[in-house]
């Protein structure tokens, strides 16, 4: 009987349940995908060229687990807020606490189990299609990535079901311990937070100090090494929390004294925020951190993606170097958007490679200024020297030397002879054509073919002549994992943080329902209430958003050592920020719509 009643209660709020289920499912799916990546040894071995990548994956996994725990906590409190009134009523009607406890336990567990099951299936499907798509978009190839991986399924299932058992126990204890009256009056008045000027000041100063330490630690990652991250994580968390505690209340209560507060619903809005913000401090802190991590991860990921070709194109003076080009290769070269091209004849004998001075005179070998000298990143300054100078300096240039590589991987010693001597000189004759394109990305396809051919045509050592294109390919391989992680974690964090916030806010909706009912009665226009709610929820979304952006701006310092000049973690962050904030805004819109639906009184009709 009681079971039936409970089911009826769920039916009445099936849309809210759907939202909850969808959120939990998404979270499980994301976790599965990540677990799949992080625990799949074959995949890791094939791709984690850098040692750091596996550390970063591990770090990401820990973060994701922490976030999942927080997430489920908030989802659970939303569930509880929906149900406690019903259960309070059942208890008042004489249902035993034991029976209620069983019901709550079962309900939570069933919901969790269903979400986990659907989530894993969804994760499998998404891994199959979406991950491939994402990789394609990034132009990456990750070997040995299979969607189905049993250990990942087990990990996900164990973690989620375990967490839901904990949540069920928590709900059971919570419901059977709370008095019936409290359950029935969920909108119990929150204690009005009081301001203690001195404590507030101390908290603000401490908060700023902690934040400062955290930001400094990130910037000083070179000296602090791996300790920087945990240090920053702890200090920034504490700092943000203290700062929120210290300032938000003061600002709100300050605003409450102004004339502005006495217009329309402003006073009500501030009153709502006043006791909301206080309860939400912890939540807002977590969300701001997640926001920062998500945004940071995506920014770094996309930074690599966009800047790698640019960086590669400025490594050396030629994009490809082709030895003894054939007709087919010439055809491909003709398709390129060439900026500079030259062909030199080499004669190799012993440990020496001979060049013809006449050729070098006619088409001097280009040299590049070092990155520091070349201020403009996009167009590294190339220059040529007179032959006499080149004989002294330029001949030592790495790019020039690597045009002729010996079997033992050393370079032939380059020597320049005048035309007559060169003609007489004995040795194996080869030509080498250097090509630099204007835009590496644009000509990527042709370059790939060219490079492929060159590598296939020659066994070592000719293929060791590494042009910018080949460097680019190698770096993509190395950084590909990082980049992918960045996108993946970024999207996952955003999804979770925004739904954490959503559930927390929605948990307060049942209490707000009565407040808005009252406002409706005293004649507040529907529009005014809508706007009021939009502002209130908007501010709750905005606070962690702003803090998160600040965190990222400082946090990107951390990547400076890995993204050395001409790359920069700060380059082109505007568009990424815009996209990210757009996604965040979608979550805001969803939350707002749901809130309106739950809270706004419906006008009577006949």
Partner 1 sequence: MTTNTVVNVHNLEKTYGKANERQYKALKGLDFTVEAGEFVGIMGASGSGKTTLLNMLSTLDVPTKGDVVVNGHDVTKMRGNQLADFRAQEVGFIFQDFNLLESLTAEENIGLPLALKGTPSRVMDQAIHEVATTLSIADLLQKYPAELSGGQKQRVAAARAIVHHPSILMGDEPTGALDSTSARELLDLLTTINQKQHMSVLLVTHDPFSASFCQRILFIKDGQIGSEIKRGEQDRSAFYQQILNELGTFNE
Query: Can you give the binding site for partner 1, defined by CB under 8 A?
Result: 187, 189-192, 256, 259, 262-268, 271-272, 274-275, 515, 518-528, 603-606
Which helix (H) or strand (E) is 151 found in, with range?
helix 150-177
Nearest distance, CB of residue 523 and partner 1, angstroms: 3
* Number of other CB atoms surrounding residue 517 within 10 Å: 12
Q: Where are the alpha helices (DSSP H) in 431-569?
A: 444-457, 468-507, 509-521, 526-555
**303/508 with CB nearer partner 1:** 508
**279/341 with CB nearer partner 1:** 279
CA 550, CA 546: separation in Å to the nearest integer? 6
β-strand pairing of 352-356 with 413-417:
parallel
- Phi/psi of residue 356, nearest 5 degrees: -90, 120
Nearest distance, CB of residue 253 and partner 1, angstroms: 11
Q: How far is CA 198 from CA 242, 247, 327, 591, in A?
A: 14, 12, 82, 37
CA 8, CA 239: separation in Å to the nearest integer? 46
**396/526 with CB nearer partner 1:** 526
Nearest distance, CB of residue 268 and partner 1, angstroms: 7
**191/225 with CB nearer partner 1:** 191
Q: How far is CA 62 from CA 68, 247, 502, 551, in A?
A: 10, 31, 23, 20
One DSSP character per residue, 455-491 reads: HHH--TTGGG---HHHHHHHHHHHHHHHHHHHHHHHH
**182/351 with CB nearer partner 1:** 182
Handedness of CA 9, 14, 16, 21 (dihedral sign): positive
Nearest distance, CB of residue 518 and partner 1, angstroms: 5
CA 284, CA 504: separation in Å to the nearest integer? 10
**25/272 with CB nearer partner 1:** 272
Largest CA distance in the chain: 112
Nearest distance, CB of residue 191 and partner 1, angstroms: 8
Closest listed residue to residue 314, CA positions, set 437, 149, 492, 130: 437
Judged on CB neighbours under 10 Å (0-12, 13-18, 19+), 577 is middle
**8/518 with CB nearer partner 1:** 518
Nearest distance, CB of residue 503 and partner 1, angstroms: 21
Nearest distance, CB of residue 169 and partner 1, angstroms: 32
Nearest distance, CB of residue 180 and partner 1, angstroms: 18
**259/426 with CB nearer partner 1:** 259
């Amino acid at each position: 009987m009681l079971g039936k009643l409970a089911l009826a209660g769920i039916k009445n709020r099936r849309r809210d349940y759907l939202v909850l289920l969808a959120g939990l499912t998404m979270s499980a799916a994301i976790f599965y995908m990540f677990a799949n990546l992080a625990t799949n040894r074959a995949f890791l071995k094939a791709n984690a060229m850098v040692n750091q990548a596996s550390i970063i994956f591990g770090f990401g996994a820990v973060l994701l687990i922490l976030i999942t725990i927080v997430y489920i906590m908030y989802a659970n409190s939303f569930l509880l807020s929906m149900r406690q009134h019903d259960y309070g009523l059942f208890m008042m009607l004489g249902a035993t606490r034991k029976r209620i406890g069983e019901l709550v336990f079962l309900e939570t567990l069933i919901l969790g189990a269903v979400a986990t099951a659907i989530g894993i299936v969804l994760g499998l499907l998404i891994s199959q299609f979406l991950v491939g798509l994402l990789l394609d978009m990034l132009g990456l190839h990750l070997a040995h990535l299979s969607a189905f991986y049993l250990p990942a399924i087990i990990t996900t299932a164990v973690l989620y079901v375990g967490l839901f058992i904990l949540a069920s126990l928590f709900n059971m204890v919570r419901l059977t311990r709370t008095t019936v009256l409290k359950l029935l009056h969920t909108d119990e008045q929150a204690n009005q937070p009081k301001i203690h000027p001195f404590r507030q000041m101390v908290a603000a100063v401490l908060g700023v100090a902690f934040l400062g330490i955290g930001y400094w630690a990130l910037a000083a990652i070179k000296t602090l090494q791996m300790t920087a991250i945990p240090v920053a994580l702890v200090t920034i968390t504490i700092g943000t929390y203290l700062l929120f505690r210290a300032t938000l209340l003061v600002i709100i209560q300050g605003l409450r004294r102004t004339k502005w507060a006495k217009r329309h619903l402003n006073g009500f809005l501030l009153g709502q925020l006043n006791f909301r913000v206080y309860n939400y401090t912890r939540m807002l802190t977590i969300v701001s951190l997640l926001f920062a991590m998500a945004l940071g991860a995506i920014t770094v990921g996309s930074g690599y993606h966009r800047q790698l070709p640019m960086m590669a194109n400025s490594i050396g003076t030629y994009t490809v170097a082709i030895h003894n080009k054939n007709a087919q290769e010439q055809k491909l070269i003709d398709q390129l958007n060439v900026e500079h091209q030259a062909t030199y004849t080499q004669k190799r004998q012993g440990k020496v490679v001979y060049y013809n001075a006449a050729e070098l005179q006619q088409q001097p070998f280009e040299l590049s200024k070092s990155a520091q000298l070349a201020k403009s990143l996009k167009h590294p300054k190339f220059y040529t020297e007179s032959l006499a100078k080149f004989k002294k300096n330029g001949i030592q240039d790495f790019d020039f030397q690597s045009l002729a590589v010996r079997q033992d991987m050393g370079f032939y010693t380059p020597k320049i002879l005048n035309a007559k001597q060169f003609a007489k000189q004995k040795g194996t004759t080869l030509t080498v054509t250097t090509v630099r394109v204007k835009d590496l990305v644009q000509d990527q396809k042709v370059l790939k073919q060219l490079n492929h051919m060159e590598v296939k045509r020659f066994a070592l050592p000719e293929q060791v002549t590494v042009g910018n294109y080949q460097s680019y390919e190698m770096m993509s391989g190395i950084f590909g994992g990082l980049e992918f992680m960045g996108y993946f974690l970024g999207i996952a964090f955003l999804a979770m943080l925004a739904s954490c916030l959503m559930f927390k806010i929605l948990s307060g909706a049942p209490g707000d329902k009565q407040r808005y009912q009252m406002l409706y009665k005293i004649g507040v226009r529907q529009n005014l209430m809508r706007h009021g709610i939009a502002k209130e929820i908007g501010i709750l979304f905005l606070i962690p958003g702003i803090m998160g952006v600040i965190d990222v701006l400082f946090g990107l310092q951390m990547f400076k050592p890995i993204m050395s000049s001409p790359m920069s973690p700060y380059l082109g962050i505007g568009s990424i920020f815009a996209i990210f904030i757009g996604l965040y805004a979608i979550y805001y819109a969803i939350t707002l719509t749901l809130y309106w639906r739950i809270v706004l009184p419906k006008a009577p009709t006949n």
